[in-house]
């Protein structure tokens, strides 16, 4: 049993030989008149009462045993002290947590533990179950493993540094190659302009030489007329007649060459170069950076999720398609024609255009539209929206049949055109070809899918066929080219998103169970694409490897019956048109 102190002397005005430890921790100066052998701590009369309630088996010394206790305490302090409570010795062991601690730890952290006990009491029992040499061997093995791990990490730092240097060299090499190519383009362009200039100057100098010949003849005859003297009419007639011949010849020369019009140096800058450079953010991409958060490259768009995008603007029109000009102005195709919005989505002007269904940009301020009569219409979007020219894909059925393959007894019955897009100043139109043949008093139908190519002047170039028969019945809606890999991306109502490799003439498919009736596709950033599901009322993001689709906008964001989606790179926004509600602009997070 713990015995209480009987010799207590407390004072707060003097310097005590032994101060009460709990009171000292609270900033009080109280004489320590009791000493606990187990706790190795001094207590005043008040504190020892609480101590004895908690530790009834501890041995308490009164003031007569304090000096010997002090010596014991100091020896303990020089040994193992508690990490959490400075000045308190480690003298307790908790079996439940397998840890050694001080008496304060037991009172605060292990008061509910039933297996805590005094170390001197348990030491022999505990040590019998542990082999010091085994523990030492184990720790040395762990130390060896940790040193090995550290060495490996240091080597990784060295390796990644070398990788960084190699990649930086590649970047500099790429820069030098691009600069060399740009300088070559500059030299070729300067050579073209200089060659044209020299040709024009040579033509002008040739005309000047001809003018000088006429000038000399005129001046010579003027002098002859002025110098003639005498009354010889025959000689005067000869002089005047020759002068008249020069007059007629010079007048005729002036009439023919008086305007002096020559070809101008009309150098047309290739905007495709600036457009391509403007669409890329770097010479390449570090693999894996986009994949860390979610395991795929969709994470490029700042971890976009459904309900995280916010509407920043609405335009009270119902649209069918849209495109953006180099100056940031937006063209929207509506039932009545075209409308133009400025960068703040305010209406600028309109242009009447009937029956158009598809739209694409073909120049910095020029767009092309395709209507259901297979006619291209070009609109200049300069100061105002003005129709500049138009042409039909073909003039008649015979012209149409010449462009598409026919295998008798099959005949070409119908051509449907969708998905207008442009690349390298060529127009690409997705075609669904319907063939038929007459057997047993009825027609049998077959299908082919491909695209036909035209230049911007309306001349037909070629046709590519990809699919045939049942596979061709895919319901093409929209198409666009990728500046990242030169593939054509085609949205379809039945097969999701198709990716056409125009070099190898192959098709791959990207789809999702929540994507219904893929109605429009547009390029985003770094080879990624957005595609809208008209029947599923959502927008999906496709990674650059065409492996993953992620839904980024849905009906909960106000998406309803979307007909087109367009990415606005400068503001990281999406513009979505709809057949049944206002045009909406979303800010991506």
Q: What DSSP assignment string belongs to 208-258?
A: HHHHHHHHHHHHHHHHHHHH--SS-HHHHHHHHHHHHHHHHHHHHHHHHHS
181 and 104 inside one domain: no
427 and 525 inside one domain: yes
The CATH number given to whatever domain includes residue 583 is 2.120.10.30
Burial class (CB in 10 A: 0-12, 13-18, 19+), 146: exposed
Identify the band that residue 14 occupies on the pLDDT scale cut at 50, 70 and 90.
low
Residue 177's pLDDT is 83
Any domain includes 564 = yes
| Higher pLDDT pick, 281 / 11 | 281
pLDDT single digits (tens) 188-225: 889 888 988 988 888 888 888 888 988 998 898 888 88
Calculate mean pLDDT across residues 479-493.
83
Residue 132's pLDDT is 66
CA distance 100 to 116: 9
pLDDT single digits (tens) 406-453: 888 888 888 888 778 888 888 888 888 888 888 888 888 888 888 888
Any domain includes 308 = yes
Identify the band that residue 348 occupies on the pLDDT scale cut at 50, 70 and 90.
very high
pLDDT single digits (tens) 299-341: 333 333 344 578 899 999 999 999 999 889 999 999 889 999 9
CA distance 180 to 245: 61
Domain that holds residue 27: 21-128
Model confidence at 535: pLDDT above 80: yes
- Do 447 and 434 contact (CB within 8 A), yes or no? yes
Omega of the bond leading into 409 within 30 degrees of 0 (cis): yes
pLDDT single digits (tens) 130-168: 566 777 888 888 999 999 999 999 999 998 898 889 888
Residue 79's pLDDT is 45
Calculate mean pLDDT across residues 491-502.
82
Burial class (CB in 10 A: 0-12, 13-18, 19+), 352: exposed
**How would you list the strands of the sheet with 337-341, edge to edge?**
319-324, 330-334, 337-341, 347-352
Name the domain count of the chain: 3
Residue 287's pLDDT is 59
Any domain includes 290 = no
527 and 463 inside one domain: yes
560 and 512 inside one domain: yes
pTM exceeding 0.75: no
- Do 419 and 430 contact (CB within 8 A), yes or no? yes
Q: Which of 82, 106, 128 is the last residue of a domain?
A: 128
Any domain includes 56 = yes
231 and 337 inside one domain: no
| Higher pLDDT pick, 120 / 292 | 120
pLDDT single digits (tens) 363-422: 889 999 988 778 889 999 988 899 988 888 877 777 777 788 788 888 888 888 877 888
Nearest CA among 303, 300, 278 for reference residue 288: 300
Nearest CA among 539, 421, 426, 393 for reference residue 488: 421
Identify the band that residue 532 occupies on the pLDDT scale cut at 50, 70 and 90.
very high
501 and 366 inside one domain: yes
Q: Which of 63, 97, 128 is the last residue of a domain?
A: 128
Neighbouring C-alpha atoms within 13 Å toward the C-beta of 291: 10
Whole-Å CA distances, 512 to 56, 192, 494, 518? 72, 51, 12, 10
Average pLDDT, rounded, for the chain: 80
Any domain includes 165 = yes
Any domain includes 167 = yes
239 and 304 inside one domain: no
| Higher pLDDT pick, 560 / 10 | 560
CA distance 234 to 242: 13
Residue 504's pLDDT is 54
Identify the band that residue 103 occupies on the pLDDT scale cut at 50, 70 and 90.
confident
103 and 183 inside one domain: no
303 and 372 inside one domain: yes
142 and 121 inside one domain: no
120 and 194 inside one domain: no
234 and 160 inside one domain: yes
């Amino acid at each position: 049993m713990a015995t209480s102190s009987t010799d207590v002397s407390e004072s707060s005005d003097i310097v005590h030989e032994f101060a009460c430890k709990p009171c000292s921790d609270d900033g009080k100066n109280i004489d320590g008149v009791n000493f606990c052998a187990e706790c190795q701590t001094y207590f005043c009369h008040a504190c020892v009462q609480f101590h004895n309630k908690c530790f009834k088996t501890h041995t308490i010394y009164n003031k007569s045993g304090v000096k010997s206790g002090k010596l014991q305490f100091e020896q303990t302090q020089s040994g193992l002290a508690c990490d959490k409570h400075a000045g308190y010795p480690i003298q307790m062991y908790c079996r439940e947590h397998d840890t050694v601690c001080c008496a304060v730890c037991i009172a605060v952290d292990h008061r509910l533990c039933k297996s805590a006990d005094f170390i001197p009491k348990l030491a022999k029992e505990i040590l019998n179950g542990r082999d010091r040499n085994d523990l030492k061997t184990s720790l040395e093995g762990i130390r060896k493993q940790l040193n090995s791990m550290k060495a490996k990490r240091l080597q990784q730092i060295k390796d990644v540094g070398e990788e960084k240097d190699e990649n930086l060299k590649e970047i500099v090499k790429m820069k030098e190659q691009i600069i060399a190519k740009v300088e070559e383009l500059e030299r070729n362009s300067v050579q073209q302009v200089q060659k044209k200039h020299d040709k024009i100057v040579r033509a002008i100098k040739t005309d000047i030489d001809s003018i000088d010949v006429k000038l000399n003849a005129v001046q010579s005859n003027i002098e002859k007329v002025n110098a003639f003297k005498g009354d010889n009419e025959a000689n005067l007639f000869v002089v005047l007649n020759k002068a008249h011949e020069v007059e007629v010849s010079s007048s005729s020369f002036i009439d023919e060459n008086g305007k002096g019009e020559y070809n101008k140096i009309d150098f047309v800058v290739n905007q495709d170069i600036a457009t391509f450079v403007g669409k890329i953010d770097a010479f390449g991409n570090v693999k894996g950076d986009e994949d860390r958060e979610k395991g795929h490259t969709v994470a490029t768009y700042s971890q976009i999720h459904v309900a995280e995008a916010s509407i920043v603007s609405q335009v009270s029109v119902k649209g069918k398609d849209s495109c953006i000009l180099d100056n940031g102005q937006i063209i929207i195709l509506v039932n009545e024609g075209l409308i133009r919005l400025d960068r703040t989505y305010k209406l600028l002007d309109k242009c009447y255009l009937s029956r158009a269904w598809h739209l694409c940009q073909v120049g910095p301020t020029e767009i092309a539209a395709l209507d259901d009569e297979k006619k291209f219409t070009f609109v200049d979007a300069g100061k105002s929206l003005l129709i500049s020219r138009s042409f039909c894909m073909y003039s008649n059925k015979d012209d149409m049949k010449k462009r598409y393959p026919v295998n008798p007894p099959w005949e070409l019955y119908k051509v449907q055109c969708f998905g207008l897009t442009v690349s390298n100043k060529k127009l690409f139109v997705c075609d669904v070809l319907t063939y038929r043949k007459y057997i047993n008093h009825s027609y049998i139908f077959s299908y082919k899918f491909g695209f036909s190519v035209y230049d911007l002047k309306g001349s037909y170039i070629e046709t590519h066929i990809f699919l045939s028969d049942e596979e061709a019945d895919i319901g093409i809606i929209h198409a666009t080219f990728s500046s990242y890999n030169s593939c054509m991306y085609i949205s379809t109502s039945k097969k999701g998103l198709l990716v056409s490799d125009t070099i190898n003439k192959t098709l791959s498919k990207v789809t999702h169970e929540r994507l219904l009736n893929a109605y429009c596709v547009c390029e985003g950033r770094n080879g990624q694409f957005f595609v809208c599901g008209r029947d599923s009322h959502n927008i999906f993001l496709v990674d650059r490897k065409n492996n993953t689709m992620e839904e980024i906008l849905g009906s909960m964001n106000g998406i309803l019956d979307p007909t087109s989606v367009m990415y606005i790179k400068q503001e990281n926004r999406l513009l979505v048109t709809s057949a049944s509600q206002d045009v909406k602009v979303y800010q991506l997070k």
